[in-house]
Amino acid sequence: YNDEEKGESYVEVDNFIPLFGLSPKLGPIGNWGLEIEKNAIKVDNSYDYQTNIPGVYAIGDVNTYKGKLKLILSGFHEAAVMCQSAYQRINPGKRYVMKYTTVGGVEGFDGSKKEAKKEVVQSIS
């Protein structure tokens, strides 16, 4: 449902399982019918890090694909690409415009907004 007053949307999902760990252990996920290779979940890295089950993604050290680098930088990239795909799956036909925090600013933990000076933004637009 949408809460227009707050500017938020909520989507029901079967499962959302964010995991954090230094050693990927699949546990019960290993029995979901996912394609596993060397204790890691195979994904399609040419598109969106989706597994062999449509709508199920795996990012970070738990996944594997040809040329995989187990670096935090790779995980950040995988997360950004996966989120774009998930957004389209949740909102079919709706256009998503990527906003760059270095240009549009970001809200700090204290509620203040940090923004680039207007002349800087105009020079790169």
Residue 84 clears pLDDT 80, i.e. is over it: yes
Prediction pTM value: 0.66
Q: In whole angstroms, give the CA distance from residue 63 to residue 59.
A: 6
Mean pLDDT of all residues in 33-59: 94
Q: Compute CA distances 34 → 20, 41, 52, 80, 83, whole Å.
A: 19, 7, 6, 22, 20
Residue 15 clears pLDDT 60, i.e. is over it: yes
Residue-level pLDDT at 105: 63
Residue-level pLDDT at 67: 94
| Mean of the per-residue pLDDT values of the chain | 82
In sequence order, what are the residues at sequence separation of 6 or more whose Cβ sits closer than 8 angstroms to the Cβ of residue 67? 45
The long-range contacts involving 96-102, CB below 8 angstroms and separated by at least 24 positions, are none
